[in-house]
Chains A and B, each alone.
Chain A
Amino acid sequence: MSDQPEMIRVEAVSKTFTLHNQGSVRLPVFRDVNFSVRAGEVLVLAGASGAGKSSLLRILYGNYLPSGGRIEIRHDGAMVDIASALPRTILEVRRRTLGFVSQFLRVIPRVSALDIVRDPLLARGVDAAEATERAGAMLARLNLPERLWALAPATFSGGEQQRVNIARSFVDPSPVMLIDEPTASLDARNRDVVVDLIAEARSRGSAIVGIFHDESVRERVATRWLDITHFRAAADAA
């Protein structure tokens, strides 16, 4: 594994929330977080609820701003620091390199499930016919009934929406994938599909960082663990 390139390199990252409208309360989350992830690895973030696992994942995506440190993501063969990159650079890195799988689907009015799943393929230049075929295959694999494909997911159940979201993320796995509780409202059969999808993305060389509530899923996908609790202790002591 160590001959694989580093895809993520996190250096001295800290995060403190300042709530300006609540007496400027400062909430330290963690500090001096350091790790790297190589292609083909699945790093599972561990630590009790509130330790800052989701915040760390969001910082890696550029969705939260770190209070200090660097987050380097390999993009087109060079490392890009997400913490200081321009918005358009971050968007370009997200389009081609960096994916985020959340437990919630952000529903866009009037857009069908199939189009939601096709979208990342089209954005990467796959032709429409192939994109449709691959999107359909992925929805079928996640057991979403074909009669739902042409509908906008606003009226779908939580589990159905989650599967649309997962299909969108795994239809063309990104070189770097950040995964937040992908199996939260799935039944055992679909949970197994997700575990397989993660394993396949990994074998294709994706570097993955994830949070998995389900212990059996965690055990099956992890190649390494990172307990972020002790970064939190450091933040509290500071």
Chain B
Amino acid sequence: MNALVSPNALQGTLRPILSARSVSRFYGERIGCAEVSFDLWPGEVLGIVGESGSGKSTLLRCLSGIDRPDAGEVLFEATPGADFLDIFDLPEQERRHLMRTAWGIVHQNPRDGLRMDVSAGGNVGERLMDRGDRHYGRIREAATEWLTRVEIEAARIDDRPRQFSGGMQQRLQIARVLVSNPRLVFMDEPTGGLDVSVQARLLDLLRVLVRDLGLAAIIVTHDLAVARLLTDRLMVMKDGRVVEAGLTDQVLDDPQHAYTQLLTSAVLAV
């Protein structure tokens, strides 16, 4: 009755979806990120916070397969129950395919994630075609559904992204990423560069989507309020290293490391 179980035993057979092991990347003598290790579990949202230059974007580029780390491994479970793949052991083409199908990457600048000369519907539908879908009617139907979900009127399905506002472009990018039903989504400052009122709408949308879809996600942000709203866990980075990690509200409300204390005291209220 009073048996004490190990916290790790509670989730039994579940395994991490992503495992980073001593991931390091250097720019010449300078450290991009160093010795970063963590496990990400299905449905878990991890925030990476720190100031610019802290290495958080470098780390995200390694984790998401864009840049090869100089040392360490990024292991990924492509389908539930499958063996871990070391993504940098894969041939380039397979890694690219994985990045387009099992993962989603939401870039800070929508122009980096969208095809600006292709219609909104085309931007979303293209991902389904990457996955092998060829039925035009079904693709258009799915695209329409996703545009509505990210609060873009279906009537604008044939418009080009450059005719959209910044907030709409970002929502379109999110639809393009989520339509292929990824297991894991990476987001780099998803609300950066948007007006505060537009940010609020996008944040609420992300919050609902992440919860409803049970996504695992890694979100890089310098905005602690964004981290509080969207993430379960935080890693705080400074000079390329993780200086503190834990439950998001605990790290923000009772920070242990000097640098985290500085970060949290520098904002008015989060």
Contacts and interface: CB of A to CB of B under 8 A. Distances in A.
Interface of A: 5-6, 18-21, 58, 62-65, 72, 75-81, 84-92, 108-111
B155 interface: no
Interface in B1-18: 1-5, 7-8, 10-11
B246 interface: yes
Given A80-B10, A85-B7, A88-B41, A62 B204 contact: no
Contacts of A80: 4-5, 7, 10
A20 B232 contact: no
Contacts of A92: 10-11
Nearest 4 A/B pairs, CB to CB: A20-B258, A85-B7, A109-B200, A87-B247
B201 interface: yes
Contact of A72 (B4, B11, B44): B4
A63 B248 CA distance: 9
23 contacts: A5-B1, A19-B261, A20-B257, A20-B262, A62-B250, A65-B250, A77-B1, A79-B2, A79-B4, A80-B7, A84-B7, A85-B7, A86-B8, A87-B233, A87-B246, A88-B41, A88-B44, A89-B8, A89-B11, A91-B247, A109-B201, A110-B204, A111-B204
A81 B201 CA distance: 37
Interface of B: 1-5, 7-8, 10-11, 41, 44, 200-201, 203-204, 207, 229, 232-233, 246-250, 253-254, 256-258, 261-262, 265
A159 B254 CA distance: 27
Given A78-B3, A87-B232, A88-B44, 17 more contacts: A21-B258, A21-B261, A58-B253, A58-B254, A62-B250, A63-B250, A65-B250, A77-B1, A84-B7, A87-B246, A87-B248, A88-B232, A89-B11, A92-B10, A92-B11, A109-B203, A110-B204
Nearest to A75: B10
A5 B2 CA distance: 9
Nearest to A9: B2
A81 B7 CA distance: 7
Contact of A108 (B5, B229, B257, B265): B229
A91 B250 CA distance: 12
Given A81-B4, A88-B41, A21 B250 contact: no
A91 B232 contact: yes
Given A78-B5, A91-B232, A64 B11 contact: no
A155 to B, nearest CB: 14
